[in-house]
């Protein structure tokens, strides 16, 4: 029986993600997109991905928690996403923009995300204050 879930099942592998180019529409200048928004599931992987030209407003290579953009979201849990083999061009000014509810656990297998060496972590948690 083949497993339908687990490691190596959901992933982005070998992508090239460009924030903007010289022929980008003017409307993009007012936005703050994310190159990859990580899902609300465990064990998603992002590997061998190159990011270019994320260098304006709050544009970021990575955003956390898909479909959690507002206080009415039904899921506020933090999920673990693993990263390896990432490359960022010199223009990148923001690697991660944590999105509402500002929770994520990013496990960096080789140090290419955090720059802190293999098996390092980037995590954020800001409890919602009413």
**pLDDT tens-digit series, residues 8-48:** 678 999 999 999 888 888 887 888 889 998 887 788 999 99
Q: Is 117 exposed, middle or buried, given 0-12, 13-18 or 19+ CB atoms closer than 10 A?
A: exposed
* Distance from C-alpha of 75 to C-alpha of 53, rounded to nearest angstrom: 31
Residue found under tokens 């544009």: 59
How much is the mean pLDDT over the chain?
82
Q: Give me the DSSP letters along 8-36.
A: TSSEEES-EEES--TT--GGGGG---EEE
Q: What phi, psi does 30 have (nearest 5°)?
A: -95, -10
> How much is the average pLDDT of 56-73?
77
* Distance from C-alpha of 42 to C-alpha of 12, rounded to nearest angstrom: 14
Domain boundaries, the chain: 35-125
Proportion of the chain above pLDDT 70, given as a percent: 77
What pLDDT score does 97 carry?
86
């Amino acid at each position: 029986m083949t497993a339908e879930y687990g490691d190596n099942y959901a992933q982005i592998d070998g992508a090239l993600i460009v924030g903007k180019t010289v022929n980008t529409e003017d409307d993009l200048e007012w936005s703050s997109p994310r190159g990859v928004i990580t899902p609300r599931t465990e064990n998603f992987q992002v590997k061998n991905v190159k990011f270019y030209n994320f260098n304006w407003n709050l544009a970021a290579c990575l955003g956390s928690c898909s479909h959690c953009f507002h206080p009415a979201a039904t899921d506020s849990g933090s999920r673990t996403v693993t990263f390896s083999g990432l490359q960022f061009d010199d223009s990148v000014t923001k690697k991660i923009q944590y999105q509402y509810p500002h929770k994520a656990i990013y496990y960096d297998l080789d140090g290419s995300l955090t720059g802190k060496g293999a098996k390092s972590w980037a995590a954020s948690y800001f409890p919602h204050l009413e």
